[in-house]
Structure 1
């Protein structure tokens, strides 16, 4: 989710401008920074969160702008807040309840609601992770169990039993067991969980991370999946 798409591209000026229009800032999209203050969201979104990596364009800001345009275009008072929490190169076991990454994610989510001016609520969790879990067979085989536990835990800790979760099936992996992790991601059957597939989206030269164009496309895929789920939830009361 942190994104590694380059912000500066060797393209014609018009093409570069078109891409920037997709991932550039919007006054109605904010991000919660490392110090738990709201600010205008800009790429790289995770520059102060994923501090040990070189961050770039990710799907989050594109997602928010697409949702804003589709759902809230007629209401200038609506603001979408993004809460970046991603740390690249981490196995899903590192996101277990009680460990630093998970606890920080929950704390930041709670702080976001407390500090949202004019009120607000958490609408969804976006999740793109797992390349490191493809290295060892044992990690790949327990991925589904760990992911389902994470979803149950965060819903319980946030008091949101029906929280929508939009996850991404891997585009690539660091090891030989990418297929097992992808199958695990696509096989999760928990309520209000949707999966978008990043397979075959274009990668950087490292053959691991999505390039800028792919990140933009993924942002729109996430938005479409979220909006589809939202429509279902609005038409079908939750138990």
Structure 2
């Protein structure tokens, strides 16, 4: 006969499962534009599916974090998002999605849960069936991802698996199997460069690793270091449920954050970085000039663009951190006629990212539009501060760096921040445009007549440090 305490627990589990399924069934009627819907495939075994105990925070919806349900419909993601077994609970995927959504206000995250508890890597081959659940892990993941790709763009694959391959006879074959899996996913999904993130197995004190587990860990580390666009996500310090096998809910949330940090550290391709127009179309209006032009190469590996009539900023976010990071507005040079957009723009931004600094590359109006460029620089500084919370930057540590003509523009921004270069467009123009620090690299046009400082560059005690 069932004890009273056991009966209560059983009833509670049934009620909880029903409530969770009802919450997860809230489908979404309207999806974002396809290019703004970033998809992430979640694959592996039970520690990817998640066995953490669901709490209230795990059921709080985020309008831009969605999941593909078992029925192939998009719904707001609340845990559990996996459905491989009735014991599915908190996983790492939802926190991963929340992190990316908070960092990228312009996109919606779509999670594709496909992990299967207990599955060995041999089950992740075409046609292979996992008898324990009756699923076809690889085939099902492929089918569900192709369904999701009707609505969005695949941006990453998250993998956590290996416990079922830690026996010596399986561990020996694991390196080749994992390499083949990565290549197969990328080929079958027509995504040859999609990032592939590999999570480390649990390191639980009461369950020390044997030689097979060590071999799997070594293989995962090696492949993450050698395969293109792959990363290894550490499980250091994470703790387990009472079963000694699965990560507990707090650790899975932390693991999700680590996956997000690893993904951000990999860097997004240039075409995928958030780009914000500086001005509403009604401000600039229609132009009769040519569209943005990329000039022919001079054989010096410098990419030059001109005819910029619609200025914008491109965000290069630093790796996620607990505290807001400093930010730098990057102003490329080019004599106010062209912009050396890579050498003095994107390459500088990526270099700053390595030091935990968020960078924003300014594409200002050229050619021969110094006043327009000055307006663009002021507006860019205000837009950066307006997005401080969303981009996790400190609005009181926003500087500017400029090269050549971009150095002159940076100096003018730093000395002329009190000048109202344009009439306010929106509430963001109430924010200050004074940089907190200035870096001038081989700046041009600083000298006026008699080699004195140009008159538009009036240095005062309030001028930011340079």
State yes or no: 1:44 paired with 2:75.
Answer: no
Q: If the length of structure 2 is used for normalisation, what is the TM-score?
A: 0.44
Q: How does 1:58-97 map to 2 (within 5 A)?
A: 58-70=91-103, 72-73=104-105, 75=106, 78-97=107-126
1:146 to 177, 181, 194: 177
Find the residue that maps to 1:201 and give its secondary structure.
Answer: coil
The structure with the largest alpha-carbon Rg is 2
Change (3 A) 1:58 1:79: same
Query: Residue in 1 aligned with 2:157?
Result: 125
* Distance of 1:125 and 1:213 partners within structure 2: 22
Residue 222 of structure 1 and its aligned partner are, at CA, apart by 0.3
Query: Residue in 2 aligned with 1:28?
Result: 64
* Distance of 2:185 and 2:259 partners within structure 1: 20
Q: CA RMSD in A?
A: 1.9
Query: Residue in 2 aligned with 1:164?
Result: 195
State yes or no: 1:5 paired with 2:37.
Answer: no
Query: Residue in 2 aligned with 1:110?
Result: 146
Choose between structure 1 and 2 for higher RCO, CA contacts under 8 A separated by at least 6 residues: 1
* Distance of 1:68 and 1:2 partners within structure 2: 20
Does the CA-based 8 Å contact 2:203-2:238 persist in structure 1? no
Structure 2 unmatched runs, 5+:
1-47, 129-135, 271-345, 348-466
Residue 98 of structure 1 and its aligned partner are, at CA, apart by 3.0
Find the residue that maps to 1:217 and give its secondary structure.
Answer: helix
- The ranges of structure 1 where at least 4 consecutive aligned residues each deviate by more than 6 angstroms after the TM superposition are none
1:200 to 230, 237, 253: 237
Which has a greater percent of strand?
2
Residue 24 of structure 1 and its aligned partner are, at CA, apart by 3.2
* Distance of 2:65 and 2:108 partners within structure 1: 6
Change (3 A) 1:155 1:138: same
Residue 228 of structure 1 and its aligned partner are, at CA, apart by 1.3
Residue 97 of structure 1 and its aligned partner are, at CA, apart by 2.6
* Distance of 1:142 and 1:172 partners within structure 2: 22
* Distance of 2:156 and 2:174 partners within structure 1: 21
* Distance of 2:240 and 2:49 partners within structure 1: 15
Query: Residue in 2 aligned with 1:14?
Result: none
Q: If the length of structure 1 is used for normalisation, what is the TM-score?
A: 0.83
Number of aligned residue pairs: give it.
212
* Distance of 1:38 and 1:129 partners within structure 2: 25
* Distance of 1:124 and 1:202 partners within structure 2: 26
Residue 161 of structure 1 and its aligned partner are, at CA, apart by 0.6
Find the residue that maps to 1:83 and give its secondary structure.
Answer: strand
Residue 25 of structure 1 and its aligned partner are, at CA, apart by 2.3
Residue 179 of structure 1 and its aligned partner are, at CA, apart by 0.9
* Distance of 2:90 and 2:244 partners within structure 1: 16
**What's the CA shift string for 1:63-96, capped at 9, x where partnerless?**
00101111x22x3xx3211000000111101101
* Distance of 1:150 and 1:172 partners within structure 2: 24
